[in-house]
Structure 1
Amino acid sequence: MSLGKEVTKKRFKVPHTYVIIFAIVIIAFLGTYIIPAGTYERVEDPNSGRTVVDPASYHRVEQTPVKFFSFEEPHLFTSVHQGMQAANSIIFFILIVGGAFAMIQGTGAIDAGIGKTALALKDKGILIIPVMMLIFGFGGATIGMAEETIVFVPIGIALARALGYDAIVGIAMITLGAAAGFTGGFANPFTVGVAQSIAEVPIYSAMGFRIVIFLVTLIISAWYVMRYAKKVKNNPELSVIYDLEKESKSTLDLSAIPELTGRHYGVYAVMALGFAVMIYGIREHGWYIQQLTSLFLMMGIFASLVGGVSPSKTAGHFVDGAKGIAFGALVVGIARAILVVMESGQIIDTIIHATATGISSLPSVMAALLMYVVQVILNFFIPSGSGQAATTMPIMAPLADLVGVTRQTAVLAYQFGDGFTNSIIPTSAVLMSYLAIGKVPYEKWFKWILPLMGIWIASGAVFLIIAQLINLQ
């Protein structure tokens, strides 16, 4: 080896989510030339009213491979546009809801409320951990709070250190609370709402079961963080990041948290009324995506009016919110191109038939757990919740029908596969962002959270088994 030269190894970098999804589109395209074409007959279930497959109707049909390019017919590259068209209601739902929540956040009510709660609990010792986790858990369960937690991480770290804990406790009490809510997702429009709409089950159905999941996950998470926090306070050398804590000089001016005003309380009232109307509309009037989209838009507009935000600033907040969620919204349309290609080549039913044949001899509970494993693996490559729903649910829903798994259970398998592992996979931009803010190395976080991840995944398996045994609908 010559002197003066250093040999450097390039670290593997996971491709962009869009690259991964379009690669799957390419694989599906090639599959239309290799996989035998076949189809099931679709019939309407008289009990639920949704379209299901007739399990005894599968038969081979003439091969119709998708063309790479054509002047006259749809081809590989038109599939993206077709996917956007097919998923237009979900895409618009995500964009408008994202904009609406940005309008609410633009009033300052959310930041002020969380900040003041944190300050009020500053002298309450370890009680701050479960309370903060509950607040952020509710945010994750209702508005899909994920990226939004990043701005609160410095506050969490400052409070944790003031109480004798470390940065990991500060990060965890903010982000793991949101993760518990995101996984339970009883009113999360970006994950549960999208997945249930694709699976053709009533939006926000089985909410009670999901609330139980949220509370159990939150309790497990709070216990895990509090247990670690007590150890660190009693002996700082037991901190996973003890060396980093000794070197840390970071401080945060907690007095800079915005004042909580009467207008902010008015915004909370608008939000509470909005969610009450949503629950009533879903239960009593069968509201679906269009009605829910309009309600969220109304919440954003009225919250801005009550919060004293000018119309121009309100419009700016809406645009910024829609821009911020555009990544996930477009993922849904691009992922839908996979389904468009497989349907055009008539291979999706062949894949479902082969998979169903392979696991049909297994108990339905085992089939549900296998779905869970698949979703956990896929989340590493498609960390976008709505994108993963759009990619997997078109296959998982009919597959569930064939192997005796309820569609609601199939949605749960997606939820858990997406929700839990977001807190450990390095492909999650949100995870890497708040670790960077806290200056916590990924390998230290991985070591700390791995036991909790095992508990979470095991609890998800238990909930899936229960859901299948009680025939959750």
Structure 2
Amino acid sequence: MSNNAKKENKDRKFLNPNGYFIIMILILLAAIATWVIPAGQYDRVVDSVTGREVVDPNSFRYIEKTPVGLFDAIVAIPLGIKSMSGIIAFIFIVAGATALVKSTGAIDAGLVALVDKFKGRDLPLLIATIIICSLLGSLLGFAQEIIPFIPLGVALALSLGYDKVVGFDIVRTSTWVGFAASTINPYVVVVAQQMAGLPIMSGLRYRIIIYFIFMIISTIFFLNYAKRVRDNKQNSVIFGYESGEDQSKFKIKNITEFTIKHKIILITFACGLILSVYGVQAYEWGTNEMAAVILITGIIAGFIAGYSPNLIAKIFTGGMSEITSGALIAGFTGAIAIILQQGQILDTIIYGLSQPLSQVNGAITVIGMVLLYSIITFFIGSAAGRAAATLPILIPLSDILGITRQTTVLAFILGGGITNMIWPNMIYVLSFADIPYSGWVKHIWKLVVILIVIACTAVSVAYFTNYGPF
């Protein structure tokens, strides 16, 4: 290898650092912040209407510092893994069940048949996938639940001549956009409206309009990028990226016949997914129940394929092992929140970010709320956690400033979802598509900016029209 080639390879590795390396840097920065930022605390009280523990907005006070040392910061990593155990378990189980279904050849044969059917007509297939995934985010609050299906989207995109980013966009990014423009998402809309004392599902028509605007803009963005990549591979933001990971999980096997058995397996798997979605909506299922249904579906698929119990177990555990790196990095990101909590600076950060909003009024305030939530999402990834920590502060503030509570809830919904697509906390999601974070930022930052501008415009319109009922 020439010196120039060695230098180029070295530079590329520097520009595409490992996700775990980035998370470790963030963990250290969080620990340093506990020494620099003053500790502060709000009192927590139980809301008589919702029964939730919320912040008393008038109770903030500075307290004695409890900085986190280097050793405690490292201890926070296994604690973070423990705190994220539910999500990690869900990812492992669904990945294992999906591996069972995929090993039968049903998914590969189905994709080959789908690609053949849409040969030369990729657009309808891409758009249909984008719409379905975005609705899962907007209506049902799918986020982590879609992660195990990212490799399937990547495999589909690669088989059509695109890159991994296109596959990630049509499955995960579209879900993100749908989540950011939540219409009836129970984890965001219902929780926020309950805390604000609003009628559940009120203001739906305006949120539907915003969802359509978000999806039209995002779909055009995704398809334009896909076209550029297909026209010239060098237009890919990950062109030249070399990964040490096994790429076989992104390849569709060369299967020519789509058999009856394959169809029965896919129908069984689809029924499991539909039942999971129905359970979320009808019975308020969480990831535990969804994982159980999908696990049962995977096992049934194995028996339909004629597998022995031992072979089912072997394939299932093999599927889990393939996503170990991506699943565990979720626990590493959980360490950041634990460090901020142990250092007691999370409330200080919320207090500091909310104070400027009390100094202005009108449309500037609601725009500020969107930007505030865009930042807070970095520190509090959970939508319910953001609601409990911030809405008790911002709802009384909006009452004082003459801003409708529905507008404040809208700012919470929009601002809290968009920047999830770019904050480093989601690096672990990218690992399931083997996409480097630097290439991802290069790809997605324009869409993030566009959506934030649209969100700021939307809440401004809400402010001037007294978006309600109150």
Identify the TM-score tier after normalising by the shorter chain.
0.5 to 0.7
SS in 2 for 1:346: coil
Rate the CA distance shift 1:42–1:113 in 2: closer, same or farther, 3 A: same
Amino acid at match of 1:345: G
Aligned residue number for residue 403 of structure 1 = 394
- For residue 151 of structure 2, what is the amino acid of its counterpart? E
Partner of 1:251: none
Partner residue in 1 for 2:150: 146
Distance in 2 separating the partners of 1:280 and 1:286: 9
- Residues of 1 paired with 2:375 and 2:264: CA distance? 44
Compared with structure 1, are the counterparts of its residues 81 and 59 closer, same or farther at alpha carbon in structure 2 (3 Å cutoff)? same
5+ residue gaps, structure 1, are 70-74, 158-166, 245-253, 379-387, 435-441
Corresponding residue SS for 1:333: helix
What aligned pairs does 1:417-456 form with structure 2 within 5 A after superposition?
417-419=419-421
**1:211 positional shift:** 8.8
Q: 1:212 to 1:147 in 2, by over 3 A?
A: farther
Change (3 A) 1:274 1:227: closer
Equivalent positions of 1:278-297 (< 5 A) are 278-297=276-295
Match of 2:175 in 1: 182
CA drift at 1:116: 0.7
Task: Report the CA distance shift for 1:52/1:471 in structure 2 as closer, same or farther (over 3 A).
Answer: farther
Matches within 5 A, 1:29-428: 29-69=31-71, 75-122=72-119, 125=120, 127-135=121-129, 138=132, 141=136, 143-144=146-147, 145-157=149-161, 174=167, 176-179=169-172, 181-184=174-177, 219-220=216-217, 239=231, 256-361=254-359, 365-371=366-372, 373-374=374-375, 390=381, 398-404=389-395, 410=412, 412-419=414-421
- Tell me the CA shift for residue 458 of structure 1: 5.1
The question of whether the paired residues in 1 share the 8 Å contact of 2:350 and 2:376 is answered with: no
**Structure 1 residues 25, 220: closer, same or farther in 2, change over 3 A?**
closer
Whether contact under 8 Å (1:136, 1:175) holds in the other structure is: no
User: 1:334 Cα shift?
Assistant: 1.6
Task: Provide the C-alpha distance between the structure 2 equivalents of 1:340 and 1:225, rounded to a whole number of angstroms.
Answer: 35
The whole-number CA distance in structure 1 between the counterparts of 2:410 and 2:322 is 29
Contact 2:99 2:319 in 1 (8 A): yes
1:367 alignment partner AA: G
Aligned to 2:399: none
Provide the aligned length of Structure 1 versus Structure 2: 408
SS in 1 for 2:68: coil
Asked if structure 2 preserves the Cα contact closer than 8 Å seen for 1:281 and 1:287, the reply is yes
Say which SS state the counterpart of residue 273 (structure 2) adopts: helix
Equivalent residues of 2:95, 2:323 under 8 A apart: yes
Deviation at 1:117, TM superposition (A): 1.7
Matched residues, percent identical?
27
Amino acid at match of 1:343: Q
What TM-score does the superposition give when structure 2 sets the normalisation length? 0.66
| 1:103–1:5 Cα change, 3 Å | closer
Alignment partner for residue 26 of structure 1, among 28, 36, 45? 28
> Where in structure 2 are there 5+ consecutive unaligned residues?
137-141, 237-251, 396-406
Partner in structure 2 of residue 385 of structure 1: none
C-alpha spacing 1:120/1:67, structure 2 compared with 1 (3 Å): closer
In 2, the alpha carbon distance for the partners of 1:417 and 1:5 equals 37
**How far off is 1:402 after superposition?**
2.5
